[in-house]
DNA sequence: CTGAAAGCGCTTACAG
DNA sequence: CTGAAAGCGCTTACAG
């Protein structure tokens, strides 16, 4: 390996400006204790030599890496949903001169905590100050993270298998109220036979189902859960659900899909069978993925502000770093029902 | 700010194992110069104290951050295309114990290089070893990066306004041959009236156009470029192009879209006008976005291996870091035409 | 093989 | 206000 070209150090700048290295450091850290003339001379020397202070050295002394890790678990690819969260984290972080490291992890919920093979960034110490957990989070991962004493905030919507007694910092959005409002909207438009399509073994889809059920109950309507066998994906789940919806008597006039992908599969399959959305059946989704707008007609769905989730995670993590003993907090961000073209007035 | 709980340092481990700190370091760096018994004793002490060496300190001495930055420029959001590249970078990097920092940048092509406001990570020194440039890259950004002596590799497909005389490490995929093969495929299926739809002021769409044109020329067919006025987006561009395609005499039997989004807009608008794909008109896209498979019928398109791009960028950057004076290299990765459902045999 | 020492590039009391 | 010195947590010749 060839030598890396040597960079200007603080000592050379000190020499050039005829001051001690401490003074350079003070100027760099905008300490008030430097005279105007000295500061100007130092600044000039810094500029002339193209000096950029070595960040690692400062970090040792500060005992702060000024860097957090965004850890995406059990995702085959960086889904647009999480990509947006990452961007929210980054944009908020960079405004505060904090850096964001991206890492991925694949693990099984059944691996004992101490056997989980953490990514390199978590095997060292001092590299990052804290962690933002995204992707699917099982209890064993939480145990593992706690065992290395790494402060973290979890994006909570994809947390699985955790009881309410679990205490940790978390940020999520409101699954329950999202479908509650979406379903109320359908009811307000005159719909009475409304089904819900999703695999409710996912806790977040279960919460969405509960929101839907609540809206139905408060209007004395019967709730119907549509599932499908061995789906390959959410889209496939939606496709397979279409037939089950159509075969019900009386035929439902509206469907609430557990997420936009299910809604997409549903829409596609319905259309193939000559059933028009929203003329023959109304449809609402959840998540407001980019593709929702592209559907034809564009999908009415529950919007989740992904950037805000990222931002809030970062904000909460920073608070945790500043106050290690603070009690844990949980933030649930509101959702918003977006009316587009897939709901018809009956 | 409360005190961060103090971590075990190398000195405490040395004391616990009754050796000098140098020996701990040697064990950590698996130097051969340590006796089995000593090594065992040290390892035991490390385990017992839960010691994880401070990464920053090592980095100062090694003069390597073991970290690179993935810099995404001028993108409102982390598009799935770039998200995949980032994942390729990360997965290759983590295998080599290298870390990946994510940063975003917004700049104008007209800002003078030294006025470009780089993200915090590039203002410090020693934080990262090198840079992977993604997103739209104009010459002024390149100048700016060069001015801080930061080694970099660029994802070259979105490079704009650069002459061939520009020398830098780059990785891209083959726009020209992608459409060349896609168009030949159409011709092989009996199509003669084939149009190309895209705004060719984007260099990469221009190259795709040239590939299309080449295929037409070698078969003595007339090329036709379809554009549209003031599109809001690529999808909108496609939608607006549909009418222009249909109004041509004789009516084209196939269209090559500059990318999948244009293809999507085209497909959607054609369908609305009662024109069926592929029965009435065949259609091919470019990029193989996730959504291509979801279209109905699924879109035949040119596949680009995004993970491989990321991987290759990382690999090339590492080579550059190890051999700073190596001549610049440029890698063009092949594309593959994926046959799905939007092309019909005439 | 191993320890003591020098040193990486910084920050920060300390003393003036 | 400023310099000289001590120190952060490591690595690596150097000497034995």
Task: Say whether residue B326 is in contact with chain A using an 8 A CB cutoff.
Answer: no
Nearest nucleotide by C1' from B54 CA? D9
Q: What is the pLDDT of residue A220?
A: 98
User: What is the Cα–Cα distance from B272 to B280, expressed in whole angstroms?
Assistant: 13
Of residues B78 and B306, more confidence is placed in B306
Rounded to an integer, the average pLDDT of A40-61 is 89
What would the pLDDT profile of B239-251 be if each residue is shown by its tens digit?
Answer: 999 999 999 999 9
3-state secondary structure of B154: strand
**Structural domains of chain B ordered from first start:** 10-61 (1.10.260.40), 67-173+307-333 (3.40.50.2300), 175-304 (3.40.50.2300)
Query: Tokens 């401070």 appear where?
Result: B54
| Beta strand spans in chain A (E) | 67-73, 99-105, 130-135, 152-155, 170-173, 194-197, 224-226, 254-257, 282-284, 301-303, 330-333, 336-338
Nearest residue of A to residue B85, measured between CA atoms? A78
Q: Is the per-residue pLDDT at A3 higher than 50? A: no
Strand, helix or coil at B286? coil
User: Strand (E) positions, chain B?
Assistant: 67-73, 99-105, 130-135, 152-155, 169-173, 194-197, 224-226, 254-257, 282-284, 301-303, 330-333, 336-338
Residue B291 pLDDT:
83
Please list every residue in chain A whose beta carbon sits closer than 8 Å to the beta carbon of residue B127: 55-56, 99
SS3 B159: strand
Residue B94, chain A, CB below 8 Å: the answer is yes
- Chain B residues in contact with A120 by the CB 8 A cut-off are 94, 97-99
pTM above 0.75, yes or no: yes
- Determine whether the interchain pair A104/B91 forms a contact, defined as Cβ–Cβ distance below 8 Å: yes
- Provide the percentage of residues in chain A whose pLDDT is more than 70: 98
Asked if B124 is an interface residue toward chain A (Cβ–Cβ < 8 A), one would say yes
β-bridge pairing B194-197 and B169-173: unpaired
Cβ burial A8-25 (10 Å sphere, 16+ → b, else e): bbbebbbebbebeeebbb
Q: Kindly give the pairing relationship between strand A152-155 and strand A130-135.
A: parallel
SS3 label, residue A254: strand
Q: What percent of chain B clears pLDDT 90, i.e. is strictly above it? A: 77
Strand C atom within 7 Å of B34 CB: yes
Are B83 and A63 inside 8 Å of each other by CB? Answer: no
Q: How far is A191 from chain B (nearest CA, A)?
A: 27
Residue reference for tokens 């063009």:
B332
Query: pLDDT digits over A238-272, tens only?
Result: 999 999 999 999 999 999 999 999 999 999 999 99
Mean pLDDT across A72-80: 89
pLDDT (0 to 100) of residue A109: 96
B4/A63 Cβ within 8 A: yes
Q: Which of residues 250-269 of B touch A (CB under 8 A)?
A: 264, 268
Q: What is the pLDDT of residue A307?
A: 96
pLDDT in tens, A152-208: 999 999 999 888 778 999 999 999 999 999 999 999 999 999 999 999 999 999 999
Structure tokens at A24: 């350079």
The pLDDT value recorded for residue B298 is 94
pLDDT of residue A336: 97
Strand pairing category for B152-155 and B169-173 = parallel
Residue scoring higher pLDDT (B113 or A63):
B113
Q: Rounded to an integer, what distance in angstroms lies between the CA atom of residue B89 and that of residue B73?
A: 16
Mean pLDDT confidence for A74-83 = 89
Could you say which DSSP state residue A240 is in? Answer: H
- The answer to whether residue B2 scores a pLDDT higher than 70 is no
Does the pLDDT of residue B165 top 80, yes or no?
no
Instruction: Average the pLDDT over A7-14 and give the result.
Output: 87
Residue A346, pLDDT above cutoff 50 = yes
In angstroms, rounded to a whole number, what is the distance separating the alpha carbons of residues A337 and A295?
Answer: 17
**pLDDT for B103 beyond 50:** yes
- Structure confidence at residue A52 as a pLDDT band (50, 70, 90): confident
Specify whether the CB–CB gap between A123 and A277 falls below 8 A: no
* pLDDT at residue B6, rounded to an integer: 58
Write b or e for each residue in A60-92: b if 16 or more Cβ atoms lie within 10 A of its Cβ, otherwise e: beeeebbbbbbbbbbbebbbbbbbbbbbbbbeb
Q: What is the pLDDT of residues A307-333, one digit of tens each?
A: 999 999 999 999 999 998 899 999 999
B254 DSSP β-pair partners: B194, B282
pLDDT in tens, A209-242: 999 999 999 999 999 999 999 999 999 999 999 9
Tokens 């995929």 belong to: B173
The pLDDT score that the predictor gives to residue A79 is: 86
B249-275 confidence digits (pLDDT tens): 999 999 999 999 999 999 999 999 999
Q: Do A55 and B83 touch (CB under 8 A)?
A: no
DSSP B87-143: HHHHHHHHHTT-EEEEEEE---TTS-GGG----HHHHSBSS-SEEEEEE-B-HHHHH
- Model pLDDT, residue B51: 87
């Amino acid at each position: 390996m060839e030598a890396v070209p040597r960079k200007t150090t603080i000592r050379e700048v000190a020499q050039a400006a005829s001051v001690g290295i401490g003074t350079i450091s003070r100027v760099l850290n905008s300490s008030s204790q430097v005279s105007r003339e000295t500061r100007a001379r130092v600044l000039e020397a810094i500029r002339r030599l193209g000096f950029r202070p070595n960040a690692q050295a400062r970090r040792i002394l500060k005992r702060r890496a000024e860097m957090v890790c965004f850890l995406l678990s059990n995702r085959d690819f960086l889904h647009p949903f999480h990509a947006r969260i990452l961007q929210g984290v980054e944009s908020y972080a960079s405004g505060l001169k904090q850096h964001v490291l991206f890492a991925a992890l694949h693990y099984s919920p059944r691996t004992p905590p101490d056997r989980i093979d953490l990514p390199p960034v978590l095997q060292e110490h001092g590299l990052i100050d804290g962690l933002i957990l995204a992707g699917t989070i099982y209890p064993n991962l939480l145990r593992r993270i706690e065992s290395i004493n790494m402060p973290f905030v979890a994006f909570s919507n994809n947390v699985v298998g955790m009881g309410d007694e679990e205490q940790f910092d978390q940020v999520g959005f409101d699954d329950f109220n999202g479908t509650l409002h979406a379903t109320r909207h359908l009811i307000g438009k005159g719909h009475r036979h409304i089904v819900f399509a999703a695999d409710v073994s996912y806790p977040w889809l279960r919460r969405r189902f509960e929101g839907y059920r609540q809206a139905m109950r408060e209007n004395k309507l019967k709730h119907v859960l549509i599932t499908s066998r061995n789906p390959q994906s959410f889209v496939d789940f939606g496709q397979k659900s279409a037939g089950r919806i159509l075969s019900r008597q009386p035929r439902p006039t509206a469907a609430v899909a557990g997420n936009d992908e299910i809604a997409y599969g549903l829409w596609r399959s319905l259309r193939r069978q000559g059933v028009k959305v929203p003329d023959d059946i109304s449809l609402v989704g959840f998540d407001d993925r980019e593709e929702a707008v592209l559907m034809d007609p564009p999908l009415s769905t529950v919007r989740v502000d992904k950037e805000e989730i990222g931002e809030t995670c970062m904000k909460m993590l920073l608070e945790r770093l500043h106050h290690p003993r603070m009690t844990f907090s949980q933030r649930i961000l509101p959702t918003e029902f977006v009316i587009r073209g897939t709901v018809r007035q009956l």
